Amino acid sequence: MQIAYAIIALGLIGLFFGVLLSIAARIFAVKVDPKVDAIIEVLPGGNCGACGYAGCINFAEAVAEGKAPTNACIPGGEDAAKTIAAELGQEVVESESLIATVFCIGDNTNTTDRFIYDGVEDCAVAGRFNGGFKSCSYGCLGLGNCVRACPFEAIKIDKNGLPVVDQEACTGCGLCVSACPRNLIKTLPRSDQGHLVLCSSQDRGKSVSRACSVGCIACKACVKACPQEAIGMDDKLAVIDLDKCNDCGECVPVCPPGTIHPRSSIPKKLGEEKELLTASETSGKNG
């Protein structure tokens, strides 16, 4: 009987606390705006922070309260912006789809190492050692800061030590841009139109040639050859204005090191690096 009384007592105590917790849950329940749940369903759920908020739920709450624009989710793109705007009964705001692009083609086949680096696998850390182990102090060190920063696994390091962007997986969030200590990655409008100078060096021509066989030597041949006047100089680096570039390709054969490439030739994902090499070979790289 004592055992039975104990079981009954424990059961009553459990029932009492269960009812108490149920009442407390109702009293102290945090009411969630149904709009927040609807917005979260639309978002990609990467919690990447590209919108400026700590996570998707924070962004959804800000949008529901009118504190954030409906098109601030870069990974979600135009589709997410339209769906969110429709859910909130707002006017649809067009958002431009972006893609990450690496402005360096100085891989292990056309650059050299000044010394053997056997430290932390971090580009920022390696760069503190005498400007980095690469012969080009502006070039990619290939230690994967951008790879680790990408929540969508859209960047990989290829066999020659350069990051390659999977353009299908890339959302244009820009986290890789912030992660690169040498500012070699930029987000551009998603398109195959236009040509790019795939270099970021600001060294003089002779120094560039010694460090990298495909670096911009600031010869200005491309500037003179462009009929659209779409190419200018940023100090010692040629830069192409994509709004003016009409893909005529006049700049490609006159570039001695073969630094200029059409965007359509940039590898779309890991394993397609030969496309860029082919474009380089046919660009008059050897004169």
Give 46-76 pLDDT, tens digit per residue: 788 888 888 888 988 888 888 888 888 888 8
Mapped onto helix, strand or coil, the DSSP state of residue 163 is strand
Q: Please tell me the predicted confidence (pLDDT) of residue 75.
A: 83
> Which backbone phi and psi does 277 adopt, to 5 degrees?
-65, -40
33 in Cβ contact with 64 (< 8 Å): yes
Kindly report, residue by residue over 104-134, the tens digit of the pLDDT: 999 999 999 999 999 999 999 999 999 999 9
150 in Cβ contact with 129 (< 8 Å): no
Contacts 24+ apart (CB under 8 A), 67-74: 69/93, 71/95, 73/43, 73/44, 74/50, 74/98, 74/171, 74/172, 74/173, 74/174
Mapped onto helix, strand or coil, the DSSP state of residue 260 is strand
The b/e string for 28-54 (b: 16+ C-beta within 10 A; e otherwise) is eeeeeeebbeebbebbbebebbbbebe
> Which backbone phi and psi does 185 adopt, to 5 degrees?
-115, 135
Confirm whether 34-88 and 98-281 share one CATH topology. Answer: no
Residue with tokens 């003179």: 224
Residue 8: which region, alpha, beta or left (left: phi > 0; alpha: psi -120 to 50)? alpha
Structure tokens at 143: 């230690």
E strand or H helix at 240: strand 237-240
- Topology (CATH) of 34-88: 3-methyladenine DNA Glycosylase II; Chain A, domain 3 (1.10.15)
- Topology (CATH) of 98-281: Alpha-Beta Plaits (3.30.70)
Measure Cα distances from 147 to 53, 100, 123, 211 in Å.
21, 12, 11, 25
Kindly report, residue by residue over 160-203, the tens digit of the pLDDT: 999 999 999 998 989 999 999 999 999 999 999 999 999 999 99
pLDDT at 3 over 60: yes
Kindly report, residue by residue over 205-226, the tens digit of the pLDDT: 999 999 999 999 999 999 999 9
Question: Would you list the domain boundaries of the chain?
Answer: 34-88, 98-281
**Read out DSSP for 205-238?**
HHHHHHHBTTS-----HHHHH-TT--EEEETTEE
pLDDT at 97 over 90: no
Average pLDDT over every residue of 140-145: 96
Q: Please tell me the predicted confidence (pLDDT) of residue 12.
A: 84
Measure Cα distances from 283 to 125, 243, 263 in Å.
36, 22, 14
Kindly report, residue by residue over 234-287, the tens digit of the pLDDT: 999 999 999 999 999 999 999 999 999 999 999 887 777 655 544 444 444 333
Structure tokens at 22: 């149920």
